[in-house]
Amino acid sequence: MEDNLELKTTESIKTEMVTTNGNDVPKENFRDNSTKSTPITNKIPENSIQTVNCYCNKERNYNIIELLCANCNRWYHESCIGYQLGKLVPFMVNYIFVCKNCSPTGLESFKKNPAMFPQMCVTAIGNLMQETIKSGNPQVYFSRDKDIIPFIESHWESMTTTARRVTQSWHSTITRSLVKETDNLFSVVNGENGSQSYKLLIDISQIKPNYEAMIKGGHLKVTETGIQPTITTGLKGRGAKRKTFGDGTSGIGSGKKGRSAGDQSNVKLPAHGYPLEHPFNKDGYKYILAEPDPHAPFRQEFDESNESAGKLIPGWLYRPLCPNQVLLALHDRAPQLHISEDRLSVTGEKGYCMARATHSVTSGNWYWETTVEDMPDNSACRIGWSQEFANVQAPLGYDKFGYSWRSRKGTVFHESRGKHYSNGFGEGDTLGMMICLPTNMISLPPTHKDLILIKFKSHLYYEEQSQDSSRDALKCLKPLIGSKIIYYKNGECFNESAVDLYDGKYFPTVSLYKNCTLSLNFGPNFKYPPPQTDGFKYKGIWERAGEAICEQTLADISFLTINEGKLKLSDI
């Protein structure tokens, strides 16, 4: 018996209940193929225990793919998992999955392993049983030659990472596996002409990986943060088009050949939950990482429907992923900049180019700090604030969308116009940036649910054309009376560097010339925090993370409420 499959004893199975789509049904209600069907009750026993599963807190659904987390031992629906799993079938046991709540990176990790033939037989019979339950004609015995082998042959690539066998000699191996595991995994009945039919000796709800055996075998390790794969892996992606089992259709994306399921151990995850391989905001396009929206209508129907195969996934089934920390953005920066693994330090290369933080502000008083860690001869930096349309391949303060303070001579810049502000700063100095924006009515962020989804390296992104938006923003710029920027050097406050800023969303921003290195501190523990007084209160930019999540949630709820009854799968 393979150690990757968790089994129950035959004695415990005698009194088991079979669970069908959340309904517990006595096993005696199931028939052999040779007997008449007995109606299955739809009533859920009053004493049945409901286990909370998945991010959506909904019950298990045996009609779709579900994965068991190795750490929290909860089941997660494929439609609720944020990253693309590739070709799978329900009731698999040859995988390792860690949910994003248990992962130290904040990203789900997944690895599909080669399947042994007994495991493939269990998966096949489990799917065959559920298909008959769904059709209203439940069966438990299935023919080796007419049912089990054809199912495995049709779903080979979905069930295992092992290459498909060229010859049919594996049919004999299936027979030997079934015979060997008879009375352990399977029960057999002999039919006419020597035919044999098999059934499972375990309830389909108990078909799952045996993670305890994987820990003993060294495939999993127990760490301070919980059970984790020995090698951290990424999720292989389903395309941006809907695919059914065994469908080889590839989704839209980068156009490069995707990794096979066996290559997933080579995918490295970052320390702070954003894919290392990602599209950059450039050439008039902006990309927003997306995750499944558990509150969107028809999520389950879309996942179960074969009619949606080959069609684009509707954008309203997903939502923008909101980071839970303020860090340097990996996608909204010049690609030649070197961002540290913790995304709180950046090193320049060659000419001036820019990096922005993940979060922006539109009103209130906000503060952050940066320290010059290294500034070799002939290198320099500019620090300050910019809007999203500021050119990342230029120094901060080059256009109307940015305001900066330069290390050389302490010059401040806006629209490429410099003026003397202070003495310069250099290696070892800690600089503070305060922006003061009059409090306006809070506007909700865009949901992007009306945009198309594209696939890039196993993740889905909203694609927004921003070139026209940049032109429109230039035309609409107007001063925000009373707004200002103040800079600090090692705790010393200087005068206002700019007043009546252009209205808009402002991001903490740095631009670097040559190999200068800056470390950024978004809070809450600042080195030189400005004093809070009765007449002047401010927040650290780190507090924007929680606020942004609330605002995005409200925006998503508003979209779904306004469009209630208008969002239909038939329109895709």
Kindly state the average pLDDT of the residues 155-181. 90
Q: What are the tokens at 273? A: 């939950």
Chain centroid to Cα 37, Å, comes to: 44
Query: Which residues touch 560 (CB under 8 Å, ≥6 apart)?
Result: 295, 296, 297, 316, 567
**Predicted local confidence at residue 111, as pLDDT:** 86
**Predicted local confidence at residue 245, as pLDDT:** 33
pLDDT bracket for residue 413 (50, 70, 90): very high
HEC secondary structure over 247-307: CCCCCCCCCCCCCCHHHHHHCCCCCCCCCCCCCCCECCEEEEEEEECCCCCCHHHHHHCCC
Q: Is the pLDDT of residue 40 over 70?
A: no
Please give the mean pLDDT across all residues of the chain: 81
Residue 504 in domain: yes
Q: Which of 48-62, 307-321, 445-459 is the most confident on average? A: 445-459
Phi, psi of 248 (to 5 degrees): -95, 10
Phi, psi of 259 (to 5 degrees): -75, 150
* DSSP-based three-state secondary structure for 212: helix
Residue 111's CATH number: 3.90.980.20
pLDDT bracket for residue 12 (50, 70, 90): very low
If asked whether residues 205 and 340 sit together in one domain, one would say no
When comparing pLDDT for 292 and 218, which is higher?
292
Last residue of a domain, one of 197, 215, 233: 215
Q: Which domain holds residue 203?
A: 10-215
Residue 309 in domain: no
- CB atoms inside a 10 Å sphere around CB 317: 22
Q: Is the pLDDT of residue 42 over 60?
A: no
Identify the weakest region by mean pLDDT among 38-42, 164-168, 194-198: 38-42
Share of the chain above pLDDT 70, in %: 80
Q: Are 414 and 500 in contact (CB under 8 A)?
A: no
Identify the weakest region by mean pLDDT among 19-23, 24-28, 39-43, 433-437: 39-43
Share of the chain above pLDDT 90, in %: 50
**Predicted local confidence at residue 66, as pLDDT:** 94
**Predicted local confidence at residue 51, as pLDDT:** 61
Identify the weakest region by mean pLDDT among 38-52, 110-124, 137-151: 38-52
Residue that the structure tokens 């004493």 belong to: 47
Residue 376 in domain: yes
Which pTM does this prediction carry? Answer: 0.61
> What is the C-alpha R_g of the chain?
29
Residue 463 in domain: no
Residues 342-401 pLDDT 10s: 999 999 998 999 999 999 999 999 999 999 999 999 999 999 999 999 999 999 999 999
Q: What are the tokens at 163? A: 């290459």
pLDDT bracket for residue 167 (50, 70, 90): confident
Find out whether the peptide bond into 209 is cis, omega within 30 degrees of 0.
no
Q: Alpha-carbon distance 63 to 131, whole Å?
A: 8
Q: Alpha-carbon distance 24 to 200, whole Å?
A: 17
Residues 233-264 pLDDT 10s: 333 333 345 443 333 333 333 333 333 333 33
- CB atoms inside a 10 Å sphere around CB 165: 12
Q: Are 354 and 390 in contact (CB under 8 A)?
A: yes
Q: What are the tokens at 116? A: 């042994």
Q: Is the pLDDT of residue 53 over 60?
A: yes
Residue 42 in domain: yes
**Predicted local confidence at residue 426, as pLDDT:** 95
**Predicted local confidence at residue 440, as pLDDT:** 73
Burial of 553 (0-12, 13-18, 19+ CB in 10 A): middle
Give me the residues paired with residue 24 across strands.
19
Residue 367 in domain: yes
**Predicted local confidence at residue 348, as pLDDT:** 95
When comparing pLDDT for 294 and 316, which is higher?
316
Last residue of a domain, one of 183, 215, 247: 215
When comparing pLDDT for 21 and 224, which is higher?
224
Q: Give the chain's domain count.
A: 2
Q: Alpha-carbon distance 238 to 233, whole Å?
A: 16
Q: Is the pLDDT of residue 67 over 70?
A: yes
Q: Which of 105-109, 363-367, 532-536 is the most confident on average? A: 363-367
pLDDT bracket for residue 272 (50, 70, 90): low
Give me the residues paired with residue 486 across strands.
434, 496
Residue 231 in domain: no
Q: Is the pLDDT of residue 155 over 80?
A: yes
Phi, psi of 180 (to 5 degrees): -60, -35
Residue 63 in domain: yes
Give residue 54's region: left, alpha or beta (phi > 0; psi -120 to 50).
left
Count of positions (residues) in the chain: 572
Last residue of a domain, one of 215, 239, 270: 215
Taking 3-state DSSP, the helix, strand and coil percentages for the chain, each rounded to the nearest 5, stand at: 20, 30, 50
Q: Alpha-carbon distance 325 to 322, whole Å?
A: 9
